[in-house]
A and B are shown apart, each in its own frame.
Chain A
Amino acid sequence: MRKTVVYALLTFCSLLFIAPLFWALTTAIKDPTELYLFPPKWLPSVWKFGNFAEAWTVQPFNVFLKNTVIVTVLATLGQLVSCAVVAYGFARFEFKGRNFLFLVVLSTMMIPWEVTMIPQYMEFNYLGWINTLKPLIVPAWFGSAYFIFLLRQFILTLPRELDEAATIDGASKMGIFLRIIVPLMGPALILVGVFQMMSCWNDYLGPLIFLNDQSKYTLTLGLAQFKGMFGVDMQSIMAITCLISILPLAVFFFAQRYIIGGIAGTGIKG
């Protein structure tokens, strides 16, 4: 009896979460004549998969895709390299001011982006980086607090004996990092890579503020731009919505184990 109630509730709630996604997908493959009906039709009478290709040409989405891929790949790479190096520094060295600096790392997580956004804009403006992809890529190469924290915690769980053995064998600190620590960091690096990749791909406010020219736009800007355009049918908007959601959804399915474990870990620390 109790089990039945639980199942009923679980099913009902998952419908609430899935239905809007499903509705977006079926809208994307509808013929325009079936869009504006009441009561609505859940499934189209003809499945028009051509809508995807058609919607893609409404705006220069190839350009947007190229920009998004450049930003996502370079920023993710930068985040992985820089956070791993810095986390290793905090986890494996005793140095003056270490604890204080690490406290600073943690407290930067509290600073809302809105406060630093305006000076950052002015800074990038001064450097001539506005309307280029650089503001979306370069900061990622200097690490982000949350990922540094995550990776440091992970390195702390690796036995120090490994480092010591390598030191005796004459390995340098960099050698230990590259040949011993990094290969063991696999799961943690996947987590950071996946989180960074998704947040870059999905980012809207960064591109909105730093990019002006359509040739520099990312996919989310292109999608948002539909809002102000006349004569674009809902099926095109939903088609693009679905297409740009493919990557985050696919990444989620492949890395689900890491993502769920990673998020769960944040809470326990709190």
Chain B
Amino acid sequence: MAKLDPAQAGTYAASLKPARKRGRGRVTPYLFVFPWLFGFLAFTLGPLIFSLVISFFDWPIVGQVKFVGFGNYIEMFTQDSLFWKSFGVTVKFAALFVPLNIVVALGLAMLLNQNVRGSAFFRTAFYLPSVISGVALAMIWGWVYSGEYGILNYFLSLVGIDGPDWLNDTRWSLVAMVIASLWGQGAMMLIFLAGLKGIPKDLYESASIDGAGRLRQFRSITIPMLSPTILFNLITSIIAAFQQLTLALVLTGGGPLKSTYFYAMYMYENAFKYFKMGYSAANAWFMFLIVLSLSFLVFKSSAAWVYYEGEIKSGAKAKSGARRRSA
């Protein structure tokens, strides 16, 4: 990267102030990195290890600490119906949310990528709800979903549908959570949009010269070229789905009849309502392992469906991609 010959520059600098330079050179980098290193030990690695340790203890916030081995894990798998209930709710939520999120975000991004005037305005409109707080989002949807006076049921009534009492109906409450979550996912749309803009136009041109229709182009160009972005968004969506908590806390409190009792809420209540710190840590580690293995599976499968440009056209093409990325 440097135009100066490094060896020459080195001796030149060294000739200016040799001793001082050398001695400090070894410590200085660590001084710069130190804030992160300290924070990592104090707020990430330390807690991570500690959380694993206390998951093998009966550890109330006040009172006697007792080693229970795998007791917490055994208890949650075999004796705790709420564990399975909340896990089921989160899996159901993820099964609805993850694919819908990908489809909606990709659909919106493709609409925005149509080269029409005013697309910046529409982009802003789609992204706007992602800017506000999750609590504000929950409050707004609570009001939109109101069974009797809600704007959503008003619109449904216009097309002859008698809308349910969304948040108080066990059949619809989780769907309501999915819709409200989709509303605040503008970031994913922007990521897709950037991916779409990165696909070279000439691919589409030569495809249409070869007589490929729009659907064929979508299937054979857009999807493969976008597959790394899809992979990224897929993993991000899975993680987001398993962490969903704010909506349920603010809107439904997990109800009605635990139909929106997310796993994250179960964990939260074990820790901060019942103060079973060890048990909740065990819950957290279970979730961590599930999310990790899901991400791993998706990542593993990606070899079959993700197409990286660099793999085939190596050399110059890959390099220009790298430069575009860092710019």
Q: Which residues of A contact B (CB under 8 A)?
A: 3, 6-7, 9-10, 13-14, 17-21, 23-24, 27, 35-40, 82, 85-86, 88-90, 93-95, 98, 101, 104-105, 108, 110-123, 125, 139, 141-143, 148, 153, 156-157, 160-161, 164, 167-168, 170, 173, 177, 198, 201-205, 208-209, 220, 223-224, 226-227, 234, 237-238, 241, 244-245, 248-249, 251-252, 256, 260, 263-270
Whether the Cβ atoms of B245 and A205 lie closer than 8 Å is yes
A144 to chain B, nearest CB (A): 8
Query: Which of B17, B42, B135, B198 is within 8 Å of A224, CB to CB?
Result: B135
Cross-chain pair count, CB within 8 angstroms: 278
Contacts of A10 in B (CB 8 A): 111-112, 116, 119, 122
Contacts of A249 in B (CB 8 A): 128, 131-132
Whether the Cβ atoms of A142 and B190 lie closer than 8 Å is no
Whether the Cβ atoms of B264 and A114 lie closer than 8 Å is yes
Contacts of A13 in B (CB 8 A): 108, 111, 122, 126
Q: Is residue B82 within 8 Å, beta carbon to beta carbon, of the partner chain? A: no
Query: Which of B61, B193, B243 is within 8 Å of A113, CB to CB?
Result: B243
Contacts of A39 in B (CB 8 A): 154, 157
Q: In the complex the two chains form, what is the Cα distance from A234 to B140 in whole Å?
A: 10
Contacts of B112 in A (CB 8 A): 10
Query: Which of B35, B131, B192 is within 8 Å of A267, CB to CB?
Result: B192
Q: In the complex the two chains form, what is the Cα distance from A23 to B144 in whole Å?
A: 8
Whether the Cβ atoms of A101 and B37 lie closer than 8 Å is yes
B188 to chain A, nearest CB (A): 8
A152 to chain B, nearest CB (A): 11
Q: Is the interface of A mostly helix, strand, loop or mixed?
A: helix
Q: Which residues of B contact A (CB under 8 A)?
A: 1-4, 9, 12-13, 16-17, 26, 28-33, 35-40, 42-44, 46-48, 50-51, 54, 61, 108, 111-112, 114, 116, 119, 121-129, 131-136, 138-141, 143-144, 148-151, 154, 157, 183, 187, 190-195, 198, 228-229, 231-233, 239, 242-243, 245-246, 249-250, 264, 267, 271-272, 277, 280-281, 284-285, 287-288, 291-292, 295, 324-327
Whether the Cβ atoms of B3 and A161 lie closer than 8 Å is yes
A131 to chain B, nearest CB (A): 13
B132 nearest in chain A by CB position? A245
Contacts of A95 in B (CB 8 A): 26, 29-30
Q: A267-B194, A268-B198, A270-B232 are in contact. Are A6 and B114 (CB under 8 A)?
A: yes
Whether the Cβ atoms of A115 and B133 lie closer than 8 Å is no
Contacts of A260 in B (CB 8 A): 123, 127, 190
